[in-house]
Amino acid sequence: MRVLVAIVLVLISAAAAFADSSGERGQGDRAPTATEVIAGLYAFSRFQHGLLESTDLKGNAEVKNLAALRAEEAARRDTALKEIQEAIGAEPRLSKAASVGASLAEADSADGPAYVRSFYAAQIAEYESAIALFESYLRAPDDAALASFARAQLPMLRSQVRDDARAMADK
């Protein structure tokens, strides 16, 4: 079972890397702007809050507690982002991201142990997306405060995605 989970994680990582390298995000080789990063992180926060709502209906205590913790972290991150956004005068477009909806739909369609696995799989995919966004931005940042914020957030996000991968492998 763990081998299967490891293979799935490798495929997810490869798909994310391929999507970024193929220009699927529509940016080509261009690093995202501060406004695009802020919008992407707000979408990431919406995902965290949506997953919390989903766990209220289907999750066990473990995923409910994790979802609540991650939603609190998202709220703190949003507060810091709001300050950066106001300082640079950014007006990000806050539209519903397709990837957020797809990740939540996958988790919402499962029950019991399948829900727990899909919960972790959705978390991993969204965290990897946020990490890739920060890494891409840091190649050519256009705002020092957001670049500093990204550098501070990356180690925590990487640690959390590793923790989620380990937890998913145990399920």
**What's 38's domain CATH number?**
1.20.1260.10
pTM for the predicted model, two decimal places:
0.75
How many domains does one find in the chain?
Answer: 1
- The first and second tokens of residue 80, run together, are 């810091």
Domain span at residue 105?
A: 2-169
CA dihedral 165, 154, 85, 143 (to 10 degrees): -150
Please give the pLDDT value at position 128: 97
Each residue's pLDDT tens digit in the chain (171 positions)?
543 444 444 445 444 444 444 344 445 578 899 999 999 999 999 999 999 988 888 778 889 999 999 999 999 999 999 999 999 887 877 655 444 444 555 555 566 788 888 999 999 999 999 999 999 999 999 999 999 999 999 999 999 999 999 998 887
Please give the pLDDT value at position 166: 94
Please give the pLDDT value at position 95: 57
